[in-house]
Structure formats: structure tokens, C-alpha cells
């Protein structure tokens, strides 16, 4: 189970690699390459080129959730890779909005993504096995629409506006030599909730690490400390966060998690 991760896109740029408000992570698992999200633009292509990675060689794509800063690069991916399908929750649609006062702003996937690339998109439901040791796991925590309402995130349906319950969000779970490694790009459903979900899904396995953003850029110090405590209380060994966590929240999480926490940035490479 040779597992390597490279951060292709993140808010934090390094050296020659530019950043943006978005996330894209390359997973090399044994002899397969998996791209988790494609950022907010075609920047991932430029950063891949600088990192010496061939986009045409990627075997699988995974969309963590239906927001623009993770999905807008997917058309560019399809234009430069003719073999990989993108695994997406079957609840994904072009219907995600952020609310500010009485206004709602579209924050979802490219509106024509599902129709233009239907032959390249694989809709999945429930617990899904991509290959041996690699799984897609949906949220199983109840009441996540309360988080959607608090975050002013809504979905447009035929019955009207509903708070987002993040049923379109999924975790990529990898079996590694150290234990299970979770990748969930924004963790809208709650980082500690996600760890618990994976632990309950795989009760016989050790959950080693969580990688992703934690959507803390808009939270109070008190709320961030609480998130850090909840993550610490799960007993997880390793956490790597960036993107929507942002610098201030990272520094507070560091107080709670100490050496088990690492900062995400473009070009970061890890082996597990």
C-alpha cells in the first residue's frame, strides 16, 4: 500500500507555485493516480506541469463536494485527460447557493458540467469502493442541515430553498500502512463528525489521519478551539489542513493539536 499525496492547489502558494481559493490533491496509490478536486480554475494544470506531473496519466477523479472552488477546473481536466472518470455523489446538482442578507449567490459546480460530460462522470451512492483499499464514504451524521443553515448555504429545489445538508459531500478513504487516511476537502459536515463516521464505517481499522479544509475562516476563536478539542478527542494521529481553514484558525488549531497538525500548501508532498 504505497501511498503518496501532493497538494496541487491550495490558498497558500510556495515558490514558483501559485495558489487560489480552492483545493486539488493528487493521490498516488500503488500504481494508480487519483485527483481529488480540480480547484477553482485551470491553475491545477500549471502547477502539475511545474511539479512534473502529467495530467493525462491520472486514472481517477473524485469530486469532494459540489462547490465551484473544487469543481471549476473539471472541464479543463477532461480536455487534457481522455481516460479518467470523475466520481461524484448522485445528489450533486447545479443547485448550491450562499445567502447574504436577502441575496443568494450561486457557488456550485459549472452549470453545464453534468450535461456536457455525462460520459465522464460516475454517480455514486452509499459506501463505494473504487478499488482495493480506496473508498468513497458519504455523510452519515444526522442533522447536518443545521450546519447548512448556520453557514447560510442553501440548495435550490423544485420545492423551494432548503438548507444544505451536504449530502453531496464525500470522503475519500485510503488504507495505508499507518491506518486509514481521510481526505475531505472542506469538511462542511464537521471534521470530528467525519472522523467518527469513518471509524464507525470501518470499526475494525485504525483511523490514522485527516487531510482537508475545515471551513473555519469565518468562525470565532471560541468555535475554532472547540473544533480543535473535538478533533483531539477522537485520538487521531495526524491532521493536515489548509484552504478554508485559513491562517488564523490554523494557529489556534495548532494550540490544540500540537505536533499532530501540519499546514497544507501548494507543492507539499507526503508519504504514508
Mean pLDDT confidence for 50-59? 97
Q: Give me the pLDDT at residue 68, please.
A: 98
Mean pLDDT confidence for 107-134? 98
Q: Is the pTM of this model over 0.85?
A: yes
Q: Collect all residues with Cβ–Cβ distance below 8 Å to 111 and sequence separation of at least 6.
A: 94
Q: Give me the pLDDT at residue 180, please.
A: 98
Q: Give me the pLDDT at residue 101, please.
A: 86
Q: Which of 8, 10, 4, 7 is nearest to 33 (CA)?
A: 4
Q: Give me the pLDDT at residue 102, please.
A: 86
Mean pLDDT confidence for 125-152? 97
Q: Collect all residues with Cβ–Cβ distance below 8 Å to 178 and sequence separation of at least 6.
A: 206, 208, 209, 237, 238, 272
Q: Which of 165, 66, 63 is nearest to 106 (CA)?
A: 66
Count of Cβ atoms closer than 10 Å to residue 148 Cβ: 19
* Distance from the Cα of residue 250 to its chain's centroid: 17
Q: Per-residue pLDDT tens for 15-48?
A: 889 999 999 999 999 999 999 999 999 999 999 9
Q: Per-residue pLDDT tens for 176-190?
A: 999 999 999 999 999
Between CA 37 and CA 172 the distance in angstroms is 11
Amino acid at each position: 500500500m504505497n501511498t503518496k499525496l501532493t497538494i496541487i492547489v491550495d490558498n497558500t502558494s510556495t515558490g514558483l507555485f501559485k495558489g487560489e481559493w480552492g483545493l486539488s490533491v493528487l493521490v498516488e496509490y500503488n500504481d494508480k493516480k487519483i485527483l481529488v478536486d480540480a480547484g477553482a480554475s485551470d491553475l491545477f494544470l500549471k502547477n502539475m506541469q511545474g511539479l512534473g506531473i502529467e495530467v493525462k496519466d491520472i486514472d481517477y477523479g473524485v469530486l469532494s463536494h459540489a462547490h465551484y472552488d473544487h469543481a471549476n477546473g473539471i472541464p479543463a481536466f477532461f480536455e487534457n485527460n481522455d481516460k479518467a472518470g470523475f466520481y461524484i455523489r448522485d445528489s450533486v446538482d447545479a443547485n448550491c447557493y450562499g445567502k447574504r442578507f436577502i441575496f443568494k449567490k450561486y457557488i456550485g459546480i459549472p452549470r453545464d458540467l453534468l450535461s456536457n460530460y455525462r460520459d465522464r462522470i460516475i454517480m455514486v451512492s452509499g459506501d463505494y469502493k473504487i478499488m482495493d483499499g480506496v473508498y468513497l464514504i458519504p455523510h452519515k451524521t444526522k442533522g447536518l442541515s443545521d450546519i447548512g443553515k448556520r453557514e447560510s448555504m442553501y440548495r435550490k429545489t423544485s420545492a423551494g430553498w432548503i438548507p444544505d445538508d451536504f449530502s453531496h459531500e464525500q470522503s475519500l478513504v485510503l488504507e495505508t500502512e499507518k491506518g486509514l487516511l481521510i481526505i475531505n476537502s472542506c469538511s462542511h459536515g464537521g471534521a470530528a463528525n467525519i472522523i467518527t463516521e469513518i471509524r464507525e464505517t470501518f470499526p475494525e481499522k485504525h483511523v490514522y489521519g485527516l487531510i482537508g479544509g475545515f471551513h473555519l475562516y469565518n468562525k470565532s476563536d471560541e468555535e475554532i478551539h472547540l473544533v480543535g478539542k473535538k478533533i483531539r478527542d477522537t485520538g487521531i494521529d495526524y491532521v493536515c489542513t489548509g484552504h478554508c481553514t485559513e491562517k488564523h484558525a490554523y494557529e489556534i488549531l495548532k494550540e490544540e493539536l500540537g505536533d499532530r497538525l501540519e499546514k497544507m500548501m501548494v507543492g507539499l508532498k507526503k508519504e504514508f
